[in-house]
Amino acid sequence: MKKTIAILILLLLSNYLLGQNRVLTGIEIMQKIDENEFYKTIQYTGKMTIHIDDQIRTKELCAQAKSKGHKALVEFINPEDYGTKYLMLDDELWIYFPSEEEVVKISGHMLKEGMMGSDFSYEDALEANKISEKYDVQITGQDTLNGNPCWVLTLEAKVKDVPYYSRKMWVDKERYIPWKEEMYAKSGRLLKEMNVLQIRKFGERIFPVKSEMVNKLRRNSKTVFELEDIAFDIDLPDDMFSLRYLQR
Amino acid sequence: MGTLSKIAWRNVRRNKRRTFLSALVIAVGLGIYIMMNSVMSGMDRANIDNLIELSTSSIKITTQEYNDEKESLPLKYGITTPENVISYIKKQDRVTGVTPRTQFLGQLSNWEDTMPVMGQVINVETDRTVFDLEKYIDGDYFSDSKENEIILGKDLAEEMGVNIGDYITLYALTKYESRNADEFIVIGTLNTTDPNINSNVILISYETADEFLDLENLITEIDVAMERRVNYETFTQDVDKLAQHLKNKYPQLEIKTFMELASGFLKITEQKQFFGSILMLVILAIAAVGIFNSVLMSVYERIREIGVLRAQGMKRNEIIKLFLWEGIYIGLIGSFMGVILGCGVNIYLVIHGIPLEKFGKFSNVGIPYWGTLYGEWNIGAIVFAFIFGLIVALAASYIPSRMAAKLEVTKALRFV
């Protein structure tokens, strides 16, 4: 009996020790990123600074999102675009233009275009939750980025209908922040690079609050996105994410 | 009548300088009319030729779904079994060429800047049987090289700062809407008569595009070239006939003639023809005034002669007829000279044309107005000019001669 108990304890202990040291798979790291960034609802004001050559344009917006981005409403508040609203429902997008008082559905080719002239495409904003479904995720190395030890993940497309044929991500080993992401074309050319510039702790959650997207097809073309006044898990009514509300 | 016409002919021959000057006015007016008509018809023909040979072809075939979304040049609506459609069309009468094409939207990048472009994937062998792009290429046409080759519109190449032999990056979405970008070597530039092609279009071959755009043999359009039989009218009839036949044979496909595809452009051409007719009327009116004035003066100069003829017993009616005969002769000589002058200039216009590039490039008008503009023979316009000259000369002689015939013999003899 004593022997059996000793074996059981040994087994449990070895399982525990193995679990502690077990190397996570790529998919598990992706899940950790999702868990860290998970929210029921989010509300923030944002600033998008678009750099093209020497020109700088700034867009300001208020955003509310629910169900981890499955539903999002964005309203621009800078003078040039004041009142322009975006409604994202899963992978569908509508834009309301106040001057024409008209709602336009954005689909197909248009989703690949830069959002409000920025380097973030509409699709970049819509596809976040589908990465692990469409890519084979492998840990292909380890690296240190700005003093943060990172896993280097390589994502290869499993299917052909993906926005980028392959991606490379540098994920913080401790906090599961994707500090850097490179997006590649089918030919292997680097198209875009995303860098997280600043993170902030909200309770248990560590959230990126400033990031940049660099367009590698143009020289000096990047967009910096900053989040302010962030509030998580507040009550947002469902009818806020409807076409009727968009036209209000 | 015979005597009067003979006297009239003798008068015409006797006053050689007057006859020549009157006929010259008619000739210059009609010559300008014939020449202008030739240039304007030539301009219309050149525009339509450019349209067919550079963009629309005679008949364009796509799927109906593609046609509904053609502005975005989608890569998802390919023609099923295009090889069967192509081989069937090739067997039809008056078809001189059939070729597949696949268009797409993309961006060119020189790593400094990007420019939106309209991509044309072409079949290197058959494209030249339908489109006439090859003669506008500076540099080379596609080779068997394994390298990614690209031909750019000349203005586009200048805008991107690349020359033949340089490399440039083309960015586009694949058939599966995945982003792709790759380097291409510029093997040639396109300097066509269509400014839109020069500033927006790039050409790549199916061999390159199959890999770059994941095409998997996708063909979104089939272009057909047809023989130009007799003239434009018979050509459009032939095109319409074949298009109708293909519509019946392939009801699931969208079959459009160049007249349908370029209806907006052809409407502009019609409007231009209307304004052209007004311009022609003005030219003819100026010619008519000249002719009228010239014949009128010759009648007034001879009122005393009319008085002498009346004194010798010639009736009023005969006087009018005499001057009408003179008008007919002057009209005939002038119209003949006008036709000779107009046709002479036209021979040069038809053979050598007007090199419009010397006058600058009018690319901002959006339709081809440069290159060499050739004249066009228009037999109807020449016959019209001849008859018009005759009628105006006749009318111009009738009114003053009637007035002169009415004068008292004594007054006519004293007329200064």
pLDDT at residue A178 greater than cutoff 70: yes
In this structure, which long-range contacts are made by residues A145-151, counting pairs with CB atoms below 8 Å and at least 24 apart in sequence? A145/A170, A145/A179, A145/A180, A146/A179, A148/A172, A148/A173, A148/A174, A148/A175, A148/A177, A148/A179, A149/A173, A149/A174, A150/A179, A150/A180, A151/A24, A151/A29
Cβ-based contacts of A187 with chain B (< 8 Å): 180-182, 212
**A30 or A197, which is more confident:** A197
| CB atoms A109 and B181 under 8 Å | no
- Average pLDDT of the residues of chain A: 84
| CB atoms B181 and A164 under 8 Å | no
Domain annotation covers residue A16: no
Q: In this complex, is the C-beta atom of A185 within 8 Å of any C-beta atom belonging to chain B?
A: yes
Which amino acid does the sequence have at B54? Answer: L
What span, in angstroms and rounded, lies between the C-alpha atoms of B159 and B383? Answer: 50
Indicate the SS3 state at residue A222.
strand
Contact A208, A195 (CB under 8 A): no
> Could you tell me the mean pLDDT of each successive run of 10 residues in chain B, 416 residues long?
80 82 85 87 80 90 91 88 94 94 93 89 94 90 88 95 94 91 95 88 94 92 88 86 95 93 79 76 76 71 80 84 86 92 92 76 51 81 89 82 77 74
| CB atoms B182 and A161 under 8 Å | no
What span, in angstroms and rounded, lies between the C-alpha atoms of B324 and B401? Answer: 8
Q: In this complex, is the C-beta atom of A219 within 8 Å of any C-beta atom belonging to chain B?
A: yes
Question: What's the number of domains chain B is made of?
Answer: 2
Give phi and psi for B143, each to the nearest 5. Answer: -115, -175
pLDDT of B270? 76
B27 and B86 in a common domain:
no
Residues in CB range of A14: below 8 A, 6 or more apart? none
Read off the pLDDT of residues A96-143 as tens digits, 9 standing for 90 and up: 998 888 898 887 667 777 788 888 887 776 665 567 778 999 999 999
**Is the Cα dihedral A63, A68, A69, A72 positive or negative?**
negative
What span, in angstroms and rounded, lies between the C-alpha atoms of B151 and B186? Answer: 6
Which CATH number covers residue A135?
Answer: 2.50.20.10
Domain annotation covers residue B398: yes
The boundaries of the domain holding residue A125 are 25-246
What span, in angstroms and rounded, lies between the C-alpha atoms of B386 and A127? Answer: 74
pLDDT of A16? 46
| CB atoms B177 and A161 under 8 Å | yes
Closest chain B C-alpha to A117 CA, distance in angstroms: 13
Comparing C-alpha atoms, which of B194, B121, B183, B129 is closest to residue B156?
B194
Contact B29, B338 (CB under 8 A): yes
Which of A157, A160, A217 lies at the smallest CB-CB distance from B171?
A217
Sole residue written with tokens 């968009």: A246
B80 and B42 in a common domain:
no
Helices (H), A97-215: 122-126, 131-134
Which of A108, A159, A191 lies at the smallest CB-CB distance from B181?
A191
Which amino acid does the sequence have at B337? Answer: M
Q: Residue A24 has what DSSP assignment?
A: P
Domain annotation covers residue B314: yes
Domain boundary among B185, B219, B253: B219
Domain annotation covers residue A7: no
- Strands (E) across B250-370 are located at 253-257, 354-355
Read off the pLDDT of residues B17-66 as tens digits, 9 standing for 90 and up: 878 888 888 888 889 888 888 888 888 777 788 888 888 899 999 999 99
Contact B246, B237 (CB under 8 A): no
Domain annotation covers residue B209: yes
The predicted model gives A89-93 an average pLDDT of: 79
B312 and B188 in a common domain:
no
Contact A100, A112 (CB under 8 A): no
B79 and B46 in a common domain:
no
Q: Is B45 exposed, middle or buried (0-12, 13-18, 19+ CB in 10 A)?
A: middle
Tokens of B364: 């901002």
B299 and B168 in a common domain:
no
What span, in angstroms and rounded, lies between the C-alpha atoms of B249 and B234? Answer: 23
B125 and B191 in a common domain:
yes
pLDDT of B408? 80
- Strands (E) across B137-200 are located at 137-139, 149-153, 167-173, 179-190
Domain annotation covers residue B175: yes
Domain annotation covers residue A31: yes
pLDDT at residue A171 greater than cutoff 90: yes
Tokens of B33: 């009319």
Closest chain A C-alpha to B66 CA, distance in angstroms: 13
Which amino acid does the sequence have at B96? Answer: T
Q: Compute CA distances A65 → A23, A73, B214, whole Å.
A: 34, 6, 36
Q: Among B176, B178, B215, which would you mutate to test the A interface (most chain A Cβ atoms within 10 Å of its Cβ)?
A: B178
Q: In this complex, is the C-beta atom of A213 within 8 Å of any C-beta atom belonging to chain B?
A: no
Question: What's the number of domains chain A is made of?
Answer: 1
Q: In this complex, is the C-beta atom of B358 within 8 Å of any C-beta atom belonging to chain A?
A: no
Domain annotation covers residue A65: yes
Domain annotation covers residue A8: no
pLDDT at residue A15 greater than cutoff 50: no
The angle formed by the CA atoms of residues B387, B388 and B389, to the nearest 5 degrees, is 90
Domain annotation covers residue A17: no
B140 and B95 in a common domain:
yes
Cβ-based contacts of B111 with chain A (< 8 Å): 217-219
Q: Compute CA distances B146 → A189, B82, B142, B263, whole Å.
A: 19, 26, 11, 41
B406 and B304 in a common domain:
yes
Question: How is chain B split among helix, strand and coil, in percent rounded to 5?
Answer: 60, 20, 25
State CA A220 to chain mean position distance. 23
Domain annotation covers residue B98: yes
Domain annotation covers residue B58: no
The boundaries of the domain holding residue B351 are 2-50+266-414
Q: In this complex, is the C-beta atom of B174 within 8 Å of any C-beta atom belonging to chain A?
A: yes
Instruction: List residues bridging with A135 in a β-sheet.
Output: A157
What span, in angstroms and rounded, lies between the C-alpha atoms of B163 and A174? Answer: 51
Q: Compute CA distances B98 → A219, B5, B144, B154, B197, whole Å.
A: 42, 63, 22, 26, 21
The predicted model gives A20-29 an average pLDDT of: 75
Which of B114, B180, B214 lies at the smallest CB-CB distance from A218?
B114
B103 and B202 in a common domain:
yes
| CB atoms A189 and B72 under 8 Å | no
Read off the pLDDT of residues A47-82 as tens digits, 9 standing for 90 and up: 999 998 888 999 999 999 887 657 889 999 999 999
Closest chain B C-alpha to A127 CA, distance in angstroms: 13
What span, in angstroms and rounded, lies between the C-alpha atoms of B36 and B60? Answer: 34
B92 and B44 in a common domain:
no
Cβ-based contacts of A161 with chain B (< 8 Å): 176-178
Q: Is B187 exposed, middle or buried (0-12, 13-18, 19+ CB in 10 A)?
A: buried
State CA B49 to chain mean position distance. 8
**Is the Cα dihedral A60, A62, A65, A71 positive or negative?**
negative
Cβ-based contacts of B114 with chain A (< 8 Å): 217-218
pLDDT of A183? 95
In this structure, which long-range contacts are made by residues A174-178, counting pairs with CB atoms below 8 Å and at least 24 apart in sequence? A174/A148, A174/A149, A175/A36, A175/A148, A175/A199, A175/A206, A176/A29, A176/A32, A176/A33, A176/A35, A176/A36, A177/A33, A177/A36, A177/A148, A177/A206, A177/A208, A178/A33, A178/A208
Q: In this complex, is the C-beta atom of A145 within 8 Å of any C-beta atom belonging to chain B?
A: no
Angle at which helix B379-406 crosses helix B316-351, to 10 degrees, equals: 160
| CB atoms B182 and A187 under 8 Å | yes
Domain annotation covers residue B379: yes
